[in-house]
Amino acid sequence: MKLSKRSGALVAAGVTGAMVLSACGGSSDSGGGGGESGNGRVVYGEATDFPENLYPFIAAGNATSTQTVIGRVLPSAFNVNADFDVTWDENVLAEEPTLDTSGGQQVNVYTINDDAVWSDGTPISADDFEFTWRANRSADPADGGCETVLSTNGYANIESVEGSDDGKTVTVTYAEPYADWQSLFSTFLPAHLMDSEDDAERCATTTEGWPTASGLPEDISAGPWQVVSDNIDTGNQVIVLTPNPEWWGDAPGLSQLVIQNIGNDPTTAVQGLQNQELGVIYPQPQLDLVNQVEDLAPNVQSEITFGLSFEHLDFNASDVHLADPNVRKAFAMALDREEIVAQTVGQFSSDAQVLNNRLYVNNQPQYQDNAPEEYKSANPDMARQLLEESGYSQGPDGIYTHPERGRLAIQINTTANNPLRQTTIEVMIPQLEDAGIDATFNADPDIFAGADRPTSLEAGGFQAALFAWVSTPFVSSNQSIYYSPDNGLGQNYSRTGTPEIDQLLAEMVSTPDPDAAADLANQVDTALWDQMATLPLYQKPTFIAYQSDIQNVEDNASQAGPLWNSEEWTLAE
């Protein structure tokens, strides 16, 4: 990651400017449940991998499991509600932030609630806004930045962050307009614990992040929940949230919220609910799991929702085969995505359908079907034609070989212990074989790890990868996925880009008119079909289930996730 990295990642933490990776894997024994003293306890069964790091602005912390932990621990200026409406946080701020462009520059003003404090008693102030900006504005060390920063989207557009009124008024002035400014400062960082005048020292702090075993710096919190390091058990993969004693808003309705990693094994989830060892689960839906949970009614309530996440393939353009656009296009043309949907998510929801857009999902009003006709059904003949144009010849076993690149064998990596994704790839394999491509399945537990794990997305030691992006209502959050790697890797794990796409993305994120921004986003997607570095498969359904005596549970199928309002959860008398 180099230079300005003006990316729009989809990252974990309320309304961040980055996209969250959806793991859905791993396993462990479920934790205990049931009411205790005080206001009781709820055990949430986490189906994704146990978080490696709790710092959301680096690759190691860019996971849904990180968001699960810190989403209501760290403060945000704006929050995404269950209906995807974006509202300012009335606990953190004293009034709705303002936008002013009358002076020729975009200026936003935030007024911090006088009662807002960190859990160590330090007032939340403009210093926290200013540090959060400075920590994320650049990935270029020569510019005071840090190359391990996941996304600089929006922060790179800011010229200055200044405080007044004893630090309770924050004025943010932009050098370049940023339409989705409400997506910024979605997670404040505690300046008094993290800031340094030495750029290298600050970058080292960023790079290390917050390893889960150690928790947050000095157990810091400024939300209704707190993570005390003594309440983290990495061996058993359990994190216990307790009420923040310095929280100035309405106190949580529970005395404990236990986050227990249970993996994506349907048996564990169903038995946990049936035995009342688990209060809430949010697994990747699978047919048997959905049916078994529905059979637990009326003691257990459940719901399937189509939100802002989508399943897709990334093609690594640094691979000897996939560096060739014809190979990437041939791979995509070989697939029958209708059949993939029918054999996977279509098994438990008749609303499931193929996704033909990367920047919007099917039920967003801005969605357009931008897919060329040759990708709308399996087209193995055209796929073979493209391969032959690139110098491949078909062997006696039907698989193509290149005189310099060798046999056209592509390994598809995905998350471990995920039956739905395994099925997805198993449906793909014979389709690809019909086009002369030898594809194999590989469950990689390191897929979302940092660059020190050679097969991770960040390290780039893979050929093709199947996973999900979990988005926000802000289209700018897609920028880091598709921006050329010359601008910093960001979340562009396909490692390719074009000046045309870069220009369209830059215009998209700075266009204040939402209709014009949507038009630019669809132009981006149209160009991405020609580039074919990523292939959307389907909008990903979410599935939430919970004991009927737990009140106020509501799915939020955005980055905010199912614990978005967990401080409001209560146990029925």
Q: How far is CA 313 from CA 319, 428, 456, 541, in A?
A: 15, 11, 14, 17
Q: What tens digit of pLDDT does each residue of 517-560 get?
A: 999 999 999 999 999 999 999 999 999 999 999 999 999 998 89
Q: Taking CA 314 as the corner, what is the angle to CA 371 and CA 535, rounded to the nearest 5 degrees?
A: 10
List the domains of the chain with CATH numbers. Answer: 55-61+73-208 (3.90.76.10), 214-306+542-571 (3.40.190.10), 309-540 (3.10.105.10)
User: How many angstroms separate the CA atoms of 380 and 46, rounded?
Assistant: 40
* pLDDT over 90 (residue 23): no
Q: CA dihedral in degrees (393, 394, 395, 397; nearest 10)?
A: 160
User: How many angstroms separate the CA atoms of 121 and 102, rounded?
Assistant: 38
CA R_g for the chain: 23
Beta bridge partners of 211: 53
Residue 286, number of CB atoms within 10 A of its CB: 21
Q: How far is CA 74 from CA 117, 221, 247, 294, in A?
A: 11, 6, 11, 34
* Cis bond before residue 298 (omega within 30° of 0): yes
pTM for the full predicted model: 0.81
Whole-number percent of the chain with pLDDT over 90: 80
Whole-number percent of the chain with pLDDT over 70: 93
**Looking at residue 8, what is its pLDDT?**
37
Mean pLDDT of 459-470: 95
Q: What tens digit of pLDDT does each residue of 368-419 get?
A: 999 999 999 999 999 999 999 999 999 999 999 999 999 999 999 999 988 8
Closest listed residue to residue 450, CA positions, set 206, 261, 235: 206
The H helix count followed by the E strand count for the chain is: 13, 22
Average pLDDT of every residue of the chain: 91
User: How many angstroms separate the CA atoms of 334 and 338, rounded?
Assistant: 12
